[in-house]
Amino acid sequence: MRPALSVILLTTLIGAGQGLFLALVAVEVLAEGGKVFFVIGSVITLILLAAGLAASFFHLGHPERAWRSAAKWRTSWLAREVIALPAFMAAVFAWGVAHWLGWPTLALAAAGVLLALALFVCTAMIYACLPFLQEWHSPLTVVNYLVLGCASGFTLAAAYSSWMAPELAAVSTVGALCWTLLAFATRGASLVRNARLKARSSLQSAIGVKHPRIAQKAQGAIAGSFNTREFFHGRGPGALRKLKWLFLAGAFVLPAALLVGGFLNLAFIVQFAGLMAERWFFFAQANHPQNLYYQVVS
């Protein structure tokens, strides 16, 4: 598939926002933080979520019709994501306001956690529910969206704690390191799984001809089309292999080392860049069956 920058930004930004909120709630439950700490943390979370939402509009052919995307919530995971994201933003906003006013926050925190988890599931299931894209059609897709978001969010929480509440930095760093190592394990598991996949489609099934020897000479058109632009990334296998090792180092290995070394701000920056590369790889690795038919142009 062709990775779209808008979708890459959407998923990485809101994932970091969801993870940051979960980290803030963990601090609220397990440790102590001042009112300002949680209020500013909620503002940062909302900025990440709003930035991701804004990025998503660049992926729409008609942004003015975006409101219609929620209409099919009974059958569409995308529609459910469209509903879950603003609901989660409202919960985060209410949680931050409650902290500012000194009101009880436990119920709002619980609602926010449930909505964050629901949003992780909705976003991941947009891809995991597609059986014809074998690389995505796995429970590991849902697991990785959750775990990678928590890794980036908790790493941001560690960097934020070092600035606003240094006494909480050590605890936040341990959480960030644990999530990063877990994300390394689960993402590695998905890479191993995908490397062992056997294609369900063939050139024969793609064009409906069962002859054992088929050689495609041309696509049947003199120029590209929507199919050749949107369902193939245009890079060779060598580029994907290099990017795989790059994102493994940038999203997991280097951030873990930086967290251990106490370079918390740099750890988040490196990890976020690595996760953007990971998300590009995630989309590019999915091989749409239609590419069997359009292989000459691809």
Residue 209's pLDDT is: 81
Residue 68's pLDDT is: 78
| pLDDT (mean) for 7-19 | 97
Tokens of 77: 């995971």
Write the pLDDT tens digit of every residue in 49-99.
999 999 988 877 677 777 777 888 899 999 999 999 999 999 999 999 999
Residue 179's pLDDT is: 98
pTM for the model stands at: 0.92
Residue 298's pLDDT is: 41
With 0-12 / 13-18 / 19 or more C-beta atoms within 10 angstroms meaning exposed / middle / buried, residue 29 is exposed
Residue 263 — pLDDT band, cuts 50, 70, 90? very high
**% of the chain exceeding 90 in pLDDT:** 72
CB 180 within 8 A of CB 151: yes
DSSP string, 124-191: HHHHHT-TT-TTT-SHHHHHHHHHHHHHHHHHHHHHHHHHH-GGGHHHHHHHHHHHHHHHHHHHHHHH
User: Average model confidence (pLDDT) for the chain?
Assistant: 91
What is the residue extent of each domain of the chain? 5-292
Residue 233 — pLDDT band, cuts 50, 70, 90? confident
Write the pLDDT tens digit of every residue in 127-153.
999 998 999 999 999 999 999 999 999
| pLDDT (mean) for 211-234 | 72
CATH topology of domain 5-292: Formate dehydrogenase/DMSO reductase fold (1.20.1630)
Please tell me the distance from the alpha carbon of residue 223 to that of residue 239, in angstroms, as a whole number. Answer: 25
DSSP string, 202-256: -HHHHHT---S-------SSSS--HHHHHS-----HHHHHHHHHHHHIIIIIHHH
Residue 221's pLDDT is: 62
Write the pLDDT tens digit of every residue in 155-202.
999 999 999 999 999 999 999 999 999 999 999 999 999 999 987 777
pLDDT at residue 295 greater than cutoff 60: no
For 244-277, the three-class secondary structure string (H helix, E strand, C coil) is HHHHHHHHHHHHHHHHHHCCHHHHHHHHHHHHHH
Q: Which of 188-197, 198-207, 285-294 has the highest mean pLDDT?
A: 188-197
CB 144 within 8 A of CB 296: no
Residue 252 — pLDDT band, cuts 50, 70, 90? very high
pLDDT at residue 220 greater than cutoff 70: no
Residue 227 — pLDDT band, cuts 50, 70, 90? confident
Task: Quote the radius of gyration of the chain (alpha carbons, Å).
Answer: 21
